[in-house]
Amino acid sequence: MIAFVSGPVAALAPDTAVVEVGGVGMAVQCTPNTLSTLRVGQQAKLATSLVVREDSLTLYGFADDDERQTFELLQTASGVGPRLAQAMLAVHSPDALRRAVATGDEKALTAVPGIGKKGAQKLLLEYKDRLGEPIGTGGPAIGTPVTSGWSDQLHAALIGLGYATREADEAVAAVTPQAEASEKPQVGQLLKAALQTLNRTR
């Protein structure tokens, strides 16, 4: 079990950070929210969870231990793998998920790509005694995705990837029509679209 990685950030991609640990570059899968806090060349410490499959070893990174523990608890439900668990944390904070489960809020779960109404109902039942009570009173309101401020998050993520403020502004403007066409803009998808527009203009 690799509990955390600590070291300078060597590279950033839309869904991955490479952290140099003892001369080795560790590729860590992260949510856009976590990636937006990282800067190339600066020190970082990420709580991690290693997912072992027959054909792969994937390291998932998180801003803190609470996020990592929630990621692991989410996977105890049937049909929930690491990618869906990470998608839930890309949309909601751990406490927002705990509040959603505590109040039976289906809308909060259906805000996550890949979860429909029936799936949300099933997950609410499975998570009821697993996630625990909400810890804080702050954070997003129930049913409000963390990504509600998508433009600020997207801008911060692009700056974290090393783009200039002007480039980030232009990329956010370029994907605004796509975001406004969606009821629930997803920062991860918008980040990929923004990077495509930046690559075309370079």
**Mean pLDDT, rounded, for 109-130:** 89
| Whether the predicted model's global pTM rises above the 0.75 cut | no
What architecture is the 4-62 domain classified under in CATH?
Beta Barrel (2.40)
Report whether pLDDT(180) > 90.
Answer: no
For 149, phi then psi, to 5°, come to -95, 55
Nearest to 109 by CA among 95, 127, 88, 90: 88
Comma-separated ranges of CATH 2.40.50.140 domains in the chain? 4-62
pLDDT digits (tens, 9 = 90+) for 18-59: 999 999 999 999 988 888 889 999 999 999 999 998 888 999
The string of DSSP codes covering 98-133 is HHHHHHT-HHHHHTSTT--HHHHHHHHHHHTTTS-S
What are the residue ranges of CATH 1.10.150.20 in the chain?
A: 65-127
- Pick from 51, 81, 76, 47: nearest CA to 64: 47
- Architecture of the domain whose range is 65-127: Orthogonal Bundle (1.10)
Give, in degrees to the nearest 5, the angle at Cα 168 between 46 and 158: 15
Q: For domain 146-201, say whether CATH 1.10.8 is its number.
A: yes
The pLDDT of residue 68? 93
pLDDT per residue over 120-178, tens digit each? 999 999 998 888 877 764 444 333 344 447 787 777 777 767 777 888 888 889 988 88
Spatial contact of 29 and 16, defined as CB atoms under 8 Å apart: yes
